[in-house]
Structure 1
Amino acid sequence: MTPRMPGRLRPPAGALRPPEFTGRLHDARTATAVGRWLGAAFAVCFLTGLVSHYLQHPPDWLADRLPARPVWGYRLTQGLHVSAGLVAIVLLLVKLWTVYPRLFAWPPVRSVRHALERLSVAVLVSGALFEVLTGLLNIVQWYPWPFSFVPVHFAVAWVVAGSILLHLAVKAPEIRAHWRRLSPGTLALPAEDVRDRRSLLLGTVAAAGVVTVTTVGQSLTPLKSLDLLAPRHPDHGPQGLPVNRTAAAAGVSAGALGGWRLEVVGPRPYDLSLDGLSALPQTRVRLPIACVEGWSVEAEWTGVRVRELIERAGGRPGVDGLRVTSLEVAGSYRVMEMGTEYAEDPLTLLALGLNGRRLSLDHGFPARIIAPNRPGVLQTKWVHRLEVR
């Protein structure tokens, strides 16, 4: 049976006829059922994406108020962000499959309002596809485009969020009519159509579940043995941790570190050799490191508390933040700003050791930052300068 499309007209004689679609699964009720799940996935992605963005790029008024607790906060939010994004790929493909016959409705535009509605749908679909595709490629760290991923992905997220709200407002009556299991005025479907819809929805849930179970282990370590499809495994890498940016990629070589000294700039500036830094009181903490690509793992870090280095340079406890500079040759995060909440936290270290051993070069030797509830890109490696703000 061909699904009825209100207001559909036949093309004029001799014109190219649009395709005919059969089967009741290309209907509004199926689209609404899948759309509810897709909307929830995009909502999780949007909210957790805001957390990630503002932790990485806080406005001035927020920089010194970002919370360092809970220590696992960013690990949770970014894990949810990536997991929901991967599930959204499955749901978006199914949603597009249920509604694509409408692209061939005749006439393509029936009124100004209809034209605006189709334009809003085009923006929504293209924006959603852009977000899930670029997000997926970011997970595997492949950037085949000429623009910077972070600001563009963030900006398009707002466009998609606005498009979803506009789409919900325009389609509200239709969504309301198909929200319940059997709304008043809705015709009962033949048993075979009900079974087909149920099979489609169960298959969608199963596909989303498989994607989740085989990728979430990169951040939910109890499931790491099932981490089959994620590009990172929490146990794979030097000293038992993954590495995103190697020393070679950052332009840092062991030979260039022979005369390394830590420079601390403040009212009472000083510098320390690695031996001098190692001679200071050492603190051992257990903290997760969580990256924007979605992987995270807890590890044991050893080093000097950052607040003690700030105080030694004449910084004011609870007032002054920190600017951290890496030996990286270039990169967006070569210089990192740290607000007072992080700088004052007793768990924030200039780490020298990882899991009971000296840091490897790829993990930031001779010294790196480790702080609670902080994106991995801000856990600066190869630190050579601290500047009290």
Structure 2
Amino acid sequence: MKTKRATAKDVAELVGCSVSAVSLVVSGRTEGRINNDLRDRIEAAVQELDYRPNQSARTLATRSPSNIAFVCPDIRNPFFGEVFHGLSASVAAQYRVQLRVPSSGLDFGIDVVRDAQSENIAGLILAAPSSGVMELFRSTCPTVLLEAPDQTLGLPCVDLNLESAAKGLAQHLLAMGHRRVGYLSYQPKKGTFVVRRHHLEVAMQEGGAHLLDAIASAGELTIEEGEARFFESWKHWKENGVTAVVAADDILAYGAIRAAKKAGLHIPGQLSVAGFNDIPFSALIAPPLTSVDFRAYELGQAAGAAMINTINGRATNLTVVETELHLRASTGAATPLKGPKRRASGTSSAPAV
């Protein structure tokens, strides 16, 4: 049986009000125009009739775009999936979110941004843009930057409290006795990765510890890259007394854990491993990973709120989202690795790790 889709006129007839009143309530523009009683009755009728505005018709009628473009790196990274979820939920009453990702590779270039700008969009959100993208970027519509702590364009920005995040992780490692910590960095020139490493190094130095970089940075955020960079760097780290490794992202930390196990290292008995991001899998791997939770869903919600404020002419320069450190079994007390001992009478020597 074919059913008819409810219209604004149907809602108005049920409530006994004008179609324009229904439009104001559905679009969230009731302040100073619609009294609370009428608003509540209209909202109840919308639910009863399962009324859903036709976005295409709304755009034509108001001549206002109804989409917000969200440009982000590889959507296969669970972090950006959570950000997208939070963003979509926060703007759902007024806008739809149009996802723009690179067709190849793990990061977007200025071409993806310009393609998004060529559409009739209400606003643009750029997630963790590289310095190369920002050098070429020109704003053509309300724009919000997400995780871009080094941006200098004066655009509204939603950032993480990376200083607090790094300091909390450093204090935990210091309390466990770690004084030489290896660091698996990520190569692309992204402010968020540069800043989180900087704050971690400062906090470690203040506690009398040292941060030792891997021989080479990871070129991609993949488990395989984390594993390769660990194997490449382990001899150097071991010779310098490293007892813990921190990865710029949990995905790299997974690779480090896999490599450490292949090298015969017990985690955390012989080596502690930690990361940034706390994506859902981090609590499920063996051992569960100590990580800084970047609260991706809340970050997306904050980006949505900043976007709506910017569209409505109430832009704020900076919104900061707090982080939280989750301590798990991948980190423990520092145990300096030792070389082979000389065999004593009546004992056998254990092989070096």
Q: Would you call these one fold, judging by a TM-score over 0.5?
A: no
User: TM-score, structure 1 length as denominator?
Assistant: 0.27
Q: Name the TM-score, length of structure 2 as normaliser.
A: 0.29
The structure with the largest helix share of the pair is 1
Higher relative contact order (CA 8 A, sep 6+): 1
